[in-house]
Amino acid sequence: MNKKLIIVKIGGKVTANEAELEKALFAFSKIEGKKILVHGGGKKASEVAEMLNIDSKFIDGRRITDKPMLEIAVMVYAGLVNKSIVAKLQSLGCNALGVCGADLNLIKAEKRTNTEFDFGLVGDITKVNSKATNSILEADQTLVISSITHDGNGQLLNTNADAIAAKLSEAMADNHDVSLIYCFEHKGVFTDIHDPKTLIENLSKLDFDSLKNSGKIKDGMIPKLSSGFSAIKNKVKSVIIGNTDYLINKNNPKTTLIN
């Protein structure tokens, strides 16, 4: 029988809200067995960029990561957010180890080039080091992974945290029953975000495609859900989209992705 592994990705609006983050980390610390936390920290990075008078540049709503912006992402994600989470988890009795993808060569990526625009120092994941990840899990240590990777030639790369959570889940699914939880600011996926009655309890790939085509699911939800469906397709046992209430109590509302 495969061992169970729970991978939780917490979103930028959770890490940026002290009370929500506290709630999420408390719930995460209570999860029994093997677990990994993945995080970004987008909002705080924008704040620091603004304070440093560095313009956040966007093309079609997607951030361009030039060198100053990469430095801020590394400082905020791999530094401030990651170590604050680790210190908090340690205080809750969870033996956390905070890393980025360069540490132990855990997540290798290559600079994105196959796009119309140059998004700068942004990485698409090429390899997850499941052997090293496994050793850490076997030592009963809890990885806290920030969304920075490297190319193996000394270059750090900004990488989507949802994609890291999904690729990591897929890589670990070879010898674990992996549950992937995307914990963000909403209760789940809605057909109308302004109408709480429209929460989708079970979302199939077919329904996702049609909601995407009709424009009812858009922006950051598209890559998040695409990552989630890729995980489901690649042997990950369950993918849930929910908020911190779900993390605290599994009976609370959420969206479950189904094949």
Interface contacts to a second copy, rule CB under 8 A: 48, 51-53, 71, 74-80, 82-84, 86-88, 90-91, 95-100, 102-105, 135, 139, 141, 148, 150, 152-156
* 132, burial (CB in 10 Å: exposed 0-12, middle 13-18, buried 19+): middle
Nearer to a second copy, 73 or 180 (CB): 73
CB 80 to a second copy: min, Å: 5
CB 92 to a second copy: min, Å: 8
In the beta sheet, which residues pair with residue 204? 258
Nearer to a second copy, 18 or 60 (CB): 18
CB 11 to a second copy: min, Å: 20
> Distance of CA 175 to CAs 7, 14, 56, 71, 235, Å?
14, 30, 41, 35, 10
| Cα 240 from chain centroid (whole Å) | 12
Beta strands in 68-219 (DSSP E): 96-99, 107-111, 123-128, 142-146, 148-150, 156-158, 176-183, 202-204
Nearer to a second copy, 86 or 236 (CB): 86
In the beta sheet, which residues pair with residue 144? 37, 98
CB 22 to a second copy: min, Å: 10
Nearer to a second copy, 149 or 244 (CB): 149
Nearer to a second copy, 11 or 41 (CB): 41
Using alpha carbons only, what angle is made at residue 75 by residues 71 and 79, rounded to the nearest 5 degrees? 150
CB 20 to a second copy: min, Å: 16
Helix (H, G, I), strand (E, B) or coil at 84: helix
Nearer to a second copy, 33 or 152 (CB): 152
In the beta sheet, which residues pair with residue 111? 123
CB 136 to a second copy: min, Å: 10
Nearer to a second copy, 85 or 199 (CB): 85
CB 46 to a second copy: min, Å: 14
* Distance spanning both ends of the chain, measured CA to CA: 23
Q: What are the helix (H) ranges across 4-108?
A: 12-15, 18-30, 42-51, 67-73, 82-91
Q: Which of 33, 155, 141, 57 shows the shortest CA–CA distance to 97? A: 141
